[in-house]
Amino acid sequence: MKNIVLNLLILSFTAIAWGHETHEGLRHWEIASPDPDRIFLSFYGDAATSRAVTWRTDTSIEKAVAQIAESIASPEFDQQTATIEARTETIDLNQSSDNKQGKVNYHSVIFNNLKPDTLYAYRVGDGENFWSEWIQFKTAAATEKPFSFVYFGDAQNGVLSHWSRVIRMAYQKAPDAAFAIHAGDLINHAHRDMEWSEWFKAGGWVHGQWTGIPVLGNHELAKFSEDTPRVVSILWRPQFTLPLSPTLPEELQETVYTVDYQGLRVIVLNSMMDTKAQNAYLEQQLQRPGAKWKVVTCHHSIFSPAKKRNFAYARKAWKPLLDKYGVDLVLQGHDHTYARGHVPVRTADGSYGDSIETMYVTSVSGKKMYDLSREQLESYAVDGYESDQTAVKKQFFQVINVTDNQLIYEAYTADGKLYDKAVITKDFKTGKKTLQ
């Protein structure tokens, strides 16, 4: 009995000391360990032949690897693997007083020379004892081919409690989605590791299976203290390995980039930083041949449906380019409400015809909700904007199907019901687009 009491005392002192030193107040799923977690698949180079994967461990894992193999029915697919050494960086979460966990390691690997339109299985780990499960994804076809993708407006608040149901319902509706656009404000406090833990727990393994396209929002920037400037989340670049854009300034790297996928081009803009530097980039990407469909995504709404919000700069500098190059779809967030509208093509006499130029969507996937201002939407008539559908107090995700001559847009609510649908049909000979 004495021994049992003694052992219990030793155990509880150990637990208190362990908890006090490093992990007090943290949830067990927030704490980094030698096992890989927060596995995130992203684009990096040609979508038909490459991908990047990024994951987290504690600092005991100093060298890490990823393995990849073509997927076949036999469990022996793992006999034919390529092993790639990871790039590892240590980040100190205590740079921000928001965090209690100290240093953690992020590892990333680029998979290159993959075969187009092929299912692969990959895993990440230390190469010996600590491995993730095998996770499967398919490369893009090398040519135009129908596919679908999903889009989420701000997750931001109640990410684990309320956003988890949205991403999971999205996975039920579109398990084969080629990628997922997260249109900014993925979390609320840029540097707060707990919130990123929630984001990764809410999506779980889906973040490693779907390829993610994260967009930087205002909540991905924050100050460390009152007298320091706002900076990009200390976790953004370590945990997302994103395409580089050599013509852009250093501070915009991994926040402004372009993905080409089976005939569709997604241009990701950063509505928070140096918007001027992005004008030439946007035009270059829109001019570049090879895209049958063009989608632009940025966090702030070009036609904001919420009161006292006005992204006038984008209407002045970006919209003329969207018009000129016939961008099909613009996907945005920030306003915590839902608005879909379009701008028709302007004819030579200055009037608007029946052919559409661009469809604009503002959406929200998380818990926080704002009111919608009809007056504000009506004020955009000067730019030709016509409102097609709105909603308040609804959590959404969208599934967009890309076919040979149509973009089929569907907005689903968190309970899986279809709320809004729009079909853009394009005649590629004349460039004329109709909206139904």
Give the strand pairing for 37-42 and 87-92.
unpaired
- In the complex, least distance from residue 153 CB atom to Fe ion, rounded to whole angstroms: 9
Q: What are phi and psi of 85, to 5 degrees?
A: -70, 140
- Of 122, 103, 273, the residue nearest 208 (C-alpha): 122
Closest CB to Fe ion among residues 243, 366: 366
Closest CB to Fe ion among residues 177, 222: 222
- In the complex, least distance from residue 300 CB atom to Fe ion, rounded to whole angstroms: 7
Closest CB to Fe ion among residues 334, 426: 334
Closest CB to Fe ion among residues 124, 190: 190
The DSSP line for 100-159 is: ---EEEEEEEEE-SPPTT-EEEEEEESSSS-BPPPEEEEPPPSS---EEEEEE-B--SSI
Closest CB to Fe ion among residues 208, 217: 217
Q: Which of 50, 218, 390, 425 binds Fe ion (CB under 5 A)?
A: 218
CA angle 112, 330, 158 (to 5 degrees): 80
Closest CB to Fe ion among residues 88, 218: 218
Q: Which residue in the block uniquely carries the two structure tokens 């945990």?
A: 239
Interface stretch with Fe ion, choices 62-70, 185-193, 275-283, 387-395 (CB under 5 A): 185-193
Q: Which amino acid makes up residue 263?
A: G
- In the complex, least distance from residue 185 CB atom to Fe ion, rounded to whole angstroms: 4
The answer to the question of residue 334 lying near Fe ion (CB under 5 A) is: yes
Closest CB to Fe ion among residues 218, 401: 218
- Cα separation, 167 vs 234, in Å, equals 24
Interface stretch with Fe ion, choices 115-123, 131-139, 214-222, 251-259 (CB under 5 A): 214-222
- Total residues at the site for Fe ion (CB under 5 A)? 4
Closest CB to Fe ion among residues 33, 310: 310
- In the complex, least distance from residue 129 CB atom to Fe ion, rounded to whole angstroms: 42
- In the complex, least distance from residue 76 CB atom to Fe ion, rounded to whole angstroms: 48
- CA distance to 48, 244, 418, per residue, from 267 (Å): 17, 13, 27
Q: Which of 58, 185, 195, 420 binds Fe ion (CB under 5 A)?
A: 185
The answer to the question of residue 217 lying near Fe ion (CB under 5 A) is: yes
Closest CB to Fe ion among residues 185, 198: 185
Interface stretch with Fe ion, choices 89-97, 247-255, 330-338, 414-422 (CB under 5 A): 330-338
Residue nearest to Fe ion (CB): 334
- In the complex, least distance from residue 154 CB atom to Fe ion, rounded to whole angstroms: 6
Interface stretch with Fe ion, choices 1-9, 48-56, 110-118, 179-187 (CB under 5 A): 179-187
All residues at 6 or more sequence positions from 42 whose CB lies less than 8 Å from its CB, including other chains: 51, 52, 53, 54, 211, 212, 213, 214, 240, 241, 242
Q: 268 pairs with which residues across the strands?
A: 257, 297
Q: 358 pairs with which residues across the strands?
A: 343
Interface stretch with Fe ion, choices 86-94, 210-218, 221-229, 425-433 (CB under 5 A): 210-218
All residues at 6 or more sequence positions from 21 whose CB lies less than 8 Å from its CB, including other chains: none
List the interface residues with Fe ion, window 114-133 (CB under 5 A).
Answer: none
- Of 121, 88, 115, 297, the residue nearest 209 (C-alpha): 121
- Cα separation, 182 vs 74, in Å, equals 35
Task: Read off the DSSP letter of residue 347.
Answer: P
- Cα separation, 131 vs 180, in Å, equals 25
Interface stretch with Fe ion, choices 100-108, 180-188, 194-202, 285-293 (CB under 5 A): 180-188
CA angle 127, 132, 136 (to 5 degrees): 110
Closest CB to Fe ion among residues 218, 425: 218
- CA distance to 28, 44, 407, per residue, from 146 (Å): 42, 21, 10
The answer to the question of residue 81 lying near Fe ion (CB under 5 A) is: no
Interface stretch with Fe ion, choices 18-26, 93-101, 222-230, 327-335 (CB under 5 A): 327-335
Residues that bind Fe ion (CB under 5 A): 185, 217-218, 334
